Amino acid sequence: MSSILILGASYGSLLATKLAMAGHQACLVCTPSTAALINAQGTRVKFPVTGSDALIEVDSRRLPAAVTAAAPHDVAPAEFDLVVLAMQESQYGEESVRALMQRVAAARVPCLALMNMPPPPYLRRIAGLQVEPLAACFSDMALWDQFEPGLVTLASPDPQAFRPAGEPKNVLQVGLPTNFKCAPFEDDAHTALLRQLEADVDAARYEWNGESLSLPVKLKNHPSLFVPLAKWPMLLCGNYRCIGDDGIRPIANAVYDNLDLSRSVYEWVEAMCVALGAQTADLVPFDKYAAAATSLKKPSSAARSVAAGAVEIERVDLLVQLLASQKGMAHAEVDAVVRRVETALKRNREAALPQGN
């Protein structure tokens, strides 16, 4: 049995549930009030199942291993075998989380980032990449300085999940039950832990109404460092293009309102990933993504955050633009996406300023 620390109790509770179902202890890091709720009532994650319209709700208190929760200041990272970073990039700079992150770095515990925005230590593992010029993409790149690059890897957060309206903070619903795709660590001993977790999650079953079910969302390990980058063409083609000059639109519309332009953006980002070192086999073809996008009837979480007045979101759009510039590449629509995002965030920042008399 391994002990896994997961920073972020919302999205992180999905992986925590899968790990506990497989017999591994999981501790979620969150606010004190949410931690008290989880420790008292457990977590509830609702999974869709093929062939049924009903959702299966998994109560963490019924699982073979425990899902617990703690506030950042109550956590000793050295007690864990693996740390999972499952928060939005800007959230790691919050004072108590920042202090915990420095303890994680000092403890030299391997870290699996479950983020769209790859942390700088992971980027430092890509040969030939200049990381310092990317500082504008991050809320505070110095926060990551103490992390050893070989101890940090990345998983593509492909599964989509959300908190249903009106539900408490210990409830999560899986919307798109795809898999987490993990890149290897530098040390094979650490990658071996990921492989063991993969096997255990794959073998786990959940008893429901007399049936032993294999629930969706798996942990999949890949030998390529670049596999998580497969999410970037999707984000630039769909998620960030939900943000317009005059409001937001669903992902399906962002993709299909101009399918030729969407294909151009997607394939350009793919080419940029290949320029960084990825193989075509590491990536997802546009037609496969476009077919899946037909069901994405809501604006992306980034777009919804901007519409709700957020002054910071993860800037994968800007990251891709700056990485491409290091390879002498540019795309007019990607430049327009970056401009629209920055304009919307600037508008939100100005609206958040105290009004003068």
Judge if 8 and 107 occupy the same domain. yes
Judge if 311 and 245 occupy the same domain. yes
Are the CB atoms for 86 and 314 separated by under 8 Å?
A: no
Are the CB atoms for 84 and 95 separated by under 8 Å?
A: no
- Is residue 167 assigned to a domain? yes
The domain total for the chain is: 2
Note the residue count of the chain.
357
Is the confidence at residue 357, as pLDDT, over 60? Answer: no
Judge if 189 and 321 occupy the same domain. no
pLDDT confidence of residue 356: 60
Judge if 66 and 93 occupy the same domain. yes
CATH number, residue 137: 3.40.50.720
pLDDT confidence of residue 334: 98
Judge if 165 and 244 occupy the same domain. no
The residue among 103 and 162 whose pLDDT is bigger is 103
3-state secondary structure of 209: coil
Judge if 157 and 286 occupy the same domain. no
For residues 112 and 317, what is the distance between their CA atoms, to the nearest angstrom? 22
Closest listed residue to residue 22, CA positions, set 185, 176, 143, 194: 194
Judge if 217 and 235 occupy the same domain. no
Mark which of 221, 250, 265 sits at the end of a domain: 221
As a whole number of Å, the CA-based R_g of the chain is: 20
- Is residue 357 assigned to a domain? no
For residues 289 and 293, what is the distance between their CA atoms, to the nearest angstrom? 6
- Is residue 117 assigned to a domain? yes
Domain that holds residue 338: 230-352
Q: How confident is the model at residue 275 (pLDDT cuts 50, 70, 90)?
A: very high
Judge if 36 and 156 occupy the same domain. yes
Judge if 27 and 139 occupy the same domain. yes
CATH number, residue 260: 1.10.1040
Over residues 56-101, the pLDDT tens digits come to 999 999 999 999 999 999 999 999 999 999 999 999 999 999 999 9
Closest listed residue to residue 144, CA positions, set 83, 182, 102, 110: 102
pLDDT confidence of residue 102: 97
